[in-house]
Each structure stands twice: as C-alpha cells, then as structure tokens.
Amino acid sequence: MKTIEKSPVLSHILLVDDDGRLRNLLERYLTKNNFRVTCAEDGRQARKFLDIFEFDMILLDVMMPGETGIELTKYLRAFNSVPILLLTAMNESEDRINGLETGADDYLSKPFEPRELLLRIENILRRVKIENQPTQNDELFHFGPYRFDLRSNLLFRGPVATKLTESESAILRAFVASPGEILSRDDLSNLDSTNVNTRTIDVQITRLRRKIEDDPKFPRYLQTIRGRGYVLKTGL
C-alpha cells in the first residue's frame, strides 16, 4: 500500500469588522502567516459567506452597525460550532463575560498586538483539531451533521442511516485517517480496499458527495483542491 503524503490545507478564517482599515491590515497579516481569509463588513455579509463556505474560525467584531457580533454569535451557536474569537474596543468585564456566555471561544480587546491575535488563533485551532481527531478506540467519526460508523459503514444524519458502498467507505475512511489533509487521486486509488483507479476516483467522490452534501455542486465538506486532490472539512 502506498504511503499517503499529507499536504497542509490553509485554515479558512472569516473576518467580520466594519472598520475597513483594520480589515485590510488583518487580512494582509493573516495571509502572510499562511491563513486563507475572507472578509465581511457586517453581519449580513457574513451570513452570505457562511451559506457558501465552511470556515475553520471566525474573527468577529462586537460593535458593528446593524447586527452586533454578540447577536451573530448567538445566532450561529444555534446550529454551528465553528470557533469564534470576538474583537472589541470595549474593555468591561461584563461585556467579555456576555460574549463568552453567548458561545464565543475567546475574546480580545482592541487595540491588540497582531502577534497575540495570531497566538490565540493558533491555540484555538490546535484545540479544535485535537478534539476532532479520532482515537484508535473511536468507532464513530463526526463531521458537520454526520456520524460515520467505522464498524458498520453506515453514515448517520440524525436518526437517518445511509449505507455506503465498499469503495465509498474506503475513501471516507482515508479522509478520517487524515482529517484536514489533502489526498490526491493517486493516494485514494492506492488504498488496499478500493477497487478503483485514478480515472474513476472522481466518479466515487461525486457519488459520495451526493450522500453527504446538501448541494453536491457546491460541496461544503468534501472539497476539491484544484490541481492537488480532495480534503474533508470536519467543522460545522
């Protein structure tokens, strides 16, 4: 069996702040430090991006016109577990507590040192990765609203179970073993338990997407990395 060489995927951050100057500064700084950044100027624009992309983390300003960061956090926590770091010019302990009680993962007061922000982001993402990493004793792997039973090859969404084919299960198991990593067509075709070659991997991926994606044409979980392969995003 061919050893799978793992390629890192840039963590995708949604930056929401009505201060255009700060948005631009943070976007450049985070991009320089190997993050993929999407910017939104308010809650409404952020919601649109959240409907399109899956993010690894949200940097969210508290004081914005219209929907505040606290209100957006409360809305997201009803169905989404993406890590949220609140940014605010307010320094009152009550405001910080309110943000954390709403479901934010961390809180950083403005002005702040970019290096401190970077360290907080890295710490949160490291913790999330550890929490999502399956152990040898785990028999269920969670991603998005799904639970993949490694024993039965059943994929659950709530109480509804979907049986995966042998090839589909083998491909999904490969992503489970390498969460957040890019797997090429060669990697997937060289799995011992797949009876497919590089020419049919795309077909198997398409079939698997039909079972796990609300809209297979715009996948949120099993994503294509152009020229490199595929990655399973395990957030949401």
Q: What pLDDT does residue 119 have?
A: 94
Largest CA distance in the chain: 60
Please state the domain extents for the chain.
7-132, 140-232
The Cα–Cα gap between 104 and 73 comes to 7
pLDDT at 27 over 70: yes
Cα–Cα distance, 118 to 46 (Å, whole number): 21
| Architecture of the structural domain at 140-232 | Orthogonal Bundle (1.10)
pLDDT at 32: 96
pLDDT, one tens digit per residue, over 154-198 is 888 877 788 887 778 888 888 888 878 899 888 887 764 445 566
Report pLDDT digits (tens) over 39-90: 999 999 999 999 888 899 999 999 898 999 999 998 888 777 788 999 987 6
Mean pLDDT along residues 106-119? 91
Handedness of CA 164, 168, 174, 176 (dihedral sign): negative
The pLDDT-based confidence of 4 (bands split at 50, 70, 90) is very low
Could you tell me the end-to-end alpha-carbon distance of the chain, in angstroms, rounded to an integer?
32
The secondary element (H helix, E strand) that includes residue 175 is helix 166-177
5-14, 118-127, 145-154, 202-211: segment of lowest average pLDDT: 5-14
Query: What's the confidence (pLDDT) of residue 1?
Result: 41
Report the alpha-carbon distance of residue 26 to residue 33 in Å, rounded. 10
Q: What residues contact 71, with CB distance under 8 A and at least 6 apart?
A: 43
* Residues whose CB is less than 8 angstroms from the CB of residue 105 and which lie 6 or more positions away in sequence, other chains included: 83, 84, 85, 124
Query: pTM value?
Result: 0.57
The rounded distance, in Å, linking the Cα atoms of 69 and 85 is: 10
Right CATH for 7-132 from 1.10.1240.10, 3.40.50.1370, 3.40.50.2300, 3.30.413.10: 3.40.50.2300
> pLDDT: is 138 or 37 the higher one?
37
Residue 118 has pLDDT above 60, yes or no: yes
Q: Is the pLDDT of residue 120 over 80?
A: yes
3-state secondary structure of 88: strand
